[in-house]
Amino acid sequence: MLGKTAGGVFWMLRYMERTENTARMIDAGLRISLTRSSAAESEWTSILTAMGLLSAYLEKHETVEGGKVVNFLLRDKSNPSSVMSAVEAARTNARLVRTALTREVWEAVNECWMDLRDLLARPVREQSLPDILQVIRQRSAYVRGSLHGTMVRNDVYDFARIGTFFERADNAARVLDVKYYILLPSIMHVGSASDNVQWETILRATSSARAYQTLHEGEYDPRMIARFLILDKRLPRSLAFCYRKISDNLDYIAKDYGDRMPCHGMVEKICHRFETMTIDKIFEYGLHEFVTEFLSESQALGRQIEIDYRFYE
């Protein structure tokens, strides 16, 4: 396959994943603002921070208000991470790599774009927000399903999977990076309502709330939450899970091409760390330091994949 196509497929899925992640962030923020209006402003601020968008937002708006933030995150075209920008970028990449996709996948992406373009044509009011978030969830599930159900399992599919998990891990790590302090023991107030809500936000923003409840019998514990999001291989959004998948898919390509590249060594190293790490060791090392280091290693891996598989000239 063309290097350009590998890059296009990788980015198409990254943007699809980003579309979902942004919707999930909005969902988490909405939840807080509905249940605890006093915390709403700081909650929206931390969501913008987690997405690296606070300064971009403040350039356009003087105050942090739910309605403005929601519209900024959903439909502002000057915001490259808004749902509309991300889905548009996903579709542009899909057009670019149209020949590598099945008709079903292309149409799922195109329909996602067409529906959201219509839904987000005008500013979104609070009462229609739940429906819109629902459509985003359904449309992206449709893309994922058609990819899963119709694509040949070859290098195209592998690059698509790598893009998905790369973006997902990146998103989870950013949430942890911004919220790490509420998981630290120093400011931990066991059982206090404030922390429960904060923890819940983290779990919601990573779509892990229900999974956590099921596996931990409803007990909120910051250390358990951190362990769950970083190390639990059962959770399809944990860092360990995503990196296992990235590693598997890079291995399929290596096997297919009969050639291992520098990126394989790098991903192995990251995976090995997750295998041998315990949550106690992470906290000993420093949760913040751990996440920061992970983000920079993951960026380096992304660049290496680009080079190894000739995404660009």
Partner 1 sequence: MAESPKFYDEMYGHGDAARVPYSDYAKWFSGEEVGNLRRKSSQAEALFRLTGITFNVYGMEEETERLIPFDIVPRIITAKEWAMLEKGIDQRVRAINSFLHDIYHRQEIVRAGRIPEEMIAKNDAFLPQMIGVAPPGNIYTHIVGTDLVRTGENEFYVLEDNARTPSGVSYMLENRETMLHMFPELFSRNKVRRVSHYPRSLRRSLSACAPPVCLENPVVAVLTPGIHNSAYYEHAFLADQMGVELVEGQDLRVIDGRVAMRTTKGYEPIDVLYRRVDDEFLDPMNFNPDSVLGVPGILDVYRAGGITIANAPGTGIADDKAIYSYMPEIVEFYTGEKAILKNVPTWRCSEPEALQYVLDNLPELVVKEVHGSGGYGMLVGPAASKKELAAFRAKLEAKPGNYIAQPTLSLSTVPILAKSGLAPRHVDLRPFALASPKGVEIIPGGLTRVALKKGSLVVNSSQGGGTKDTWVLED
Q: Which residues bind partner 1 (CB under 8 A)?
A: 1-6, 92, 95-96, 98-99, 103, 106-107, 110-111, 114, 155, 253, 257, 259, 309-310, 313
CB of 2 vs partner 1, minimal distance in Å: 6
Residue number, 49 or 92, with CB nearest to partner 1: 92
> 93 or 206, CB closer to partner 1?
93
Count how many Cα atoms sit within 13 Å of the Cα of residue 84 in the half-sphere of its side chain: 22
Question: What is the residue whose two structure tokens read 């040949």?
Answer: 152
Distance in angstroms between the alpha carbons of the first and the last residue of the chain: 15
Decide whether 41 or 104 has the Cβ nearer to partner 1: 104
Nearer to partner 1, 181 or 257 (CB): 257
In the bound complex, what is the minimum distance in angstroms from residue 72's beta carbon to partner 1? 20
- Min CB(93)–partner 1 separation in Å: 10
Contacts of 118 (CB under 8 A, 6+ apart): none
Q: Least distance to partner 1 from the beta carbon of 259, Å?
A: 8
Beta carbon of residue 84, minimum distance to partner 1 (angstroms, whole number): 13
Select 96 or 224, whichever has its Cβ closest to partner 1.
96
Closest CA to 75 of 164, 204, 67: 67
| Cβ-based nearer residue to partner 1, 41 or 111 | 111
- Give the burial class of 138: count Cβ atoms within 10 A of its Cβ; 0-12 exposed, 13-18 middle, 19 or more buried: exposed
CA distance 107 to 120: 19
DSSP code per residue over 137-204: HHHHHHHHHHHHHHS-SSHHHHHHHHHHHHHHHHHHHHHHHHHGGGGSGGG--TT-HHHHHHHHHHHH
Judge contact between 170 and 295, C-beta under 8 A.
yes
Which CB atom, from 3 or from 236, has the smaller least distance to partner 1? 3
How far from chain centre, in Å, is Cα 174? 9
Closest distance of CB 111 from partner 1, Å: 6
The least distance separating partner 1 from the CB of residue 313, rounded to whole angstroms, comes to 6
